[in-house]
Amino acid sequence: MTARAAGRFITLEGGEGAGKSTQIARLRSWLEGQGHAVTATREPGGSPGAEMIRKLLVEGPAERWDGTTEALLHFAARREHLRSTVWPAMARGEWVISDRFADSTMAYQGYGHGLGRAVFEQLYALAVGDFRPDLTILLDLPVETGLARAAARRGTETRYESLPRAFHEQVRAGFREIAAREPDRCVVIDATQSIDAIAAAIEGAVRARLAA
């Protein structure tokens, strides 16, 4: 089986400790086994310029930025990520899997920080335009479980993890509402399952939605 002429864009979303990195590695391996060329990337980041902005967002004290500043930084990084990594890979016929995309900005800044949908949509139109993921997988799990997992692998990127639990509850509610609003694009998967069960559910969703 050869790679498709036109690439696809798959995003994995979820709160802290949802296990996105593990599942992206599994999904990439599976898609490559199906004959697809795959680029795995992340947000914020995914290109040299965007990685520089990432450090501003994920390191340092929790009070470093307000929600509006965070959203502006995220969309600046996103524009650079798309321009330098995502769109060129898709033009080559590759499938792109991203650890987070714009839904995270809506969940974290829109819901968590109360920025709201109107500002988000204005920034999205400016930085991204009409482009949307072909499929979004939301790995959903209780906040307490996710934060415990995140603490177990804690490194330098602790800024969001250090925010209050109430913030993370709003983020989880935001993700679930986003998925409910766009069921044709989003699939919610219970991230409390085993790694193998989650991977199988993701593969099933990709087969069903994208005929991989």
Domains held by the chain: number: 1
| pLDDT digits 0-9 by tens, 34-65 | 999 999 999 999 999 999 999 998 887 777 88
Question: What whole-number distance in Å separates Cα of residue 190 and Cα of residue 142?
Answer: 10
76 lies in some domain:
yes
| pLDDT digits 0-9 by tens, 97-155 | 999 999 999 999 999 999 999 999 999 999 999 999 999 999 999 999 988 888 877 66
| pLDDT digits 0-9 by tens, 179-191 | 999 999 999 999 9
Chain centre to alpha carbon of residue 94: 18
Q: Note the pLDDT of residue 51.
A: 97
166 lies in some domain:
yes
Domain that residue 63 falls in:
9-210
Q: How far is CA 113 from CA 85, 106, 108, 122, in A?
A: 28, 9, 6, 17
Q: Which CATH number belongs to the domain containing residue 181 in this structure?
A: 3.40.50.300
Name the H helices within the chain. 20-33, 48-58, 67-81, 87-91, 102-105, 117-127, 143-152, 165-181, 195-210
**pTM of the complete model:** 0.91
| pLDDT digits 0-9 by tens, 59-84 | 877 778 888 999 999 999 999 999 99
140 lies in some domain:
yes
112 lies in some domain:
yes
pLDDT band of residue 1 (cuts 50, 70, 90) is very low
Q: Tell me if 72 sits within 8 A of 123, measured CB to CB.
A: yes
Chain centre to alpha carbon of residue 34: 23
